[in-house]
Structure 1
Amino acid sequence: MKNLLYILTFIVTTTVIAQSENSITLEKQKLKQALSYGDDMVAATAMYAIINLEGPQSTYKDSLAYLYFRERNYSSCFLVLNDVLKNKPTNLDLLKMQAVSLESLGAFGKAIEVYKTLLTKTEDNYFAYKLAGLQYALNKFEEAYTSIKKADQLPDNTAVKITFQVNKNYSQDINLKASIAYLQGVIELNLKKDNNAKLSFERAVKLFPDFVLAKGKLESLNTKEKQ
């Protein structure tokens, strides 16, 4: 009798595992097709099904976070990342998405903490620039000044361009080094360091001669000096 129970249990367990594996295979096929057709809604549904079948450690949670990030669904992206980062707290790509998601949601204080972590781990001047920008947005000018000076001292990430909106119809993509100099000047203006600010804006224009906003700040400072 016991042997019969063991055999029945084994058969049931094997059947359940086989059905689960078949279901995962079908959902992965559905996911592949949905992605090839650009159907993110169906792709997300398939990912949820795979995660449910694979359990809490499913790597498809990462894929779901990337999908939400690509869709700019930052709220859902953040919630998924909050879960995934519990097991992968040092994953740089996930931390980058978390920082952008928090910033996009207006949670500047929390975004600052993530950018600080990224800066510590990478010594990337882009993260120092982002940190300074968020601190400036929160009127933490002294902290922003420390961060932007650090950004200027670190090796330049030449691959990064920063988009500045000049007016409603025109924007410029500025290299990071010039962008750092410009933000430093803006921070210095708020700290009443006009002479330093002028030097920073001049440096920004030297690094990017057509930098419209930096030229405008210089003109304002020159006009102020003449008055």
Structure 2
Amino acid sequence: MKNKITLMIGLFMMMGITVMAQEATTPASTQESETVRSRNEIDQRVYQAAMRYNDFAVARMKLFELMERNPTNTRYPELLATLYFDAGQFTSAAVSAIDLLEQNDKSVTGLEIAAYSLEQLGAMDRALPNFERHYLLTGNLFSLYKTAYMQYSLDKPEEALNSVNMLIKNNKASTEKVGFPTADNDTQEVALKAAGLNLKAMVYLALQNKEEALEAINQALEVQPDFELALETKAEISNM
């Protein structure tokens, strides 16, 4: 009986130690969480103030600190990549966007910044898959147009024709616009369908297929008769 009582006392003591240990660790964990949250709030306020005053160096530094403290939150690397891109720092923008995509390969912001930054750097072959994935995730027709143009630029005519045919068959391509530079250094707004048909004519022109090129360019000019680039493409086709 005495042994039984001793055993019960021992068990109660062990239970008490466990409860005390839990009580000792829980407040510390909560305190640490509150400290992180408090530091995040401060850094976010400083970041917002820095953006308001166009102090991008401070804004970037605060984003780095937030990224280090919150490694699973992809919002901060998205903001950092955007800052680099908006500043025209395309190498930094591309690298930060690629790092972001390693963390979240479905980040629409990461795909867009990687695609355009790599294009600006002349890395067309690396920009292309990012435009493709951006279109697949968003259905953005301009990304589909850029995909077709990249494929054309990389001498992939069959892939370019497939992409451009998908574009011109989409009903939204008749209403959505894209800007092209004009001879007087202005910008002409053109329906994406007309732009796609002009690109289709350019692909056939590269393939030395005058008949198909003329058909495509005439369709482009039916959609938008004043499309300057299409008029230039038609003149080039006529001189084949």
What's the TM-score, normalizing by structure 2?
0.77
Q: How does 1:36-115 map to 2 (within 5 A)?
A: 36-57=52-73, 59-115=75-131
**RMSD (Å) for aligned C-alpha atoms:** 3.0
| Mapped contact 1:115–1:130 kept (Cα < 8 A) | yes
Matched, 1:153 2:197: no
C-alpha distance in structure 1 between counterparts of 2:110 and 2:174, whole Å = 22
Aligned match of 2:217:
201
Q: Is the 8 A contact 2:63 2:76 kept in 1?
A: yes
2:159 corresponds in structure 1 to 143
Asked if the contact 1:132–1:143 (Cα under 8 Å) also holds between the matched residues in 2, the reply is: yes
1:156 positional shift: 2.4
Q: Which has the larger radius of gyration?
A: 2
- The partner residue of 2:149 within 133, 137, 143 is 133
Where in structure 1 are there 5+ consecutive unaligned residues? none
Match of 1:190 among 187, 199, 206: 206
* Cα deviation, residue 189, structure 1: 0.7
Deviates more, 1:158-167 or 1:73-82: 158-167
Structure-2 separation of matches of 1:157 and 1:204:
12
How much identity, in percent, do the aligned residues show? Answer: 25
State TM-score, norm by structure 1: 0.80
Report how many aligned residue pairs link the two structures: 222
Instruction: Return the offset for 1:181.
Output: 0.8
Is this contact kept in 1: 2:74–2:100, CA < 8 A?
Answer: no
Change (3 A) 1:188 1:89: same
Match of 1:23 among 16, 20, 39: 39
Q: State the one-letter code of the partner of 1:150.
A: M
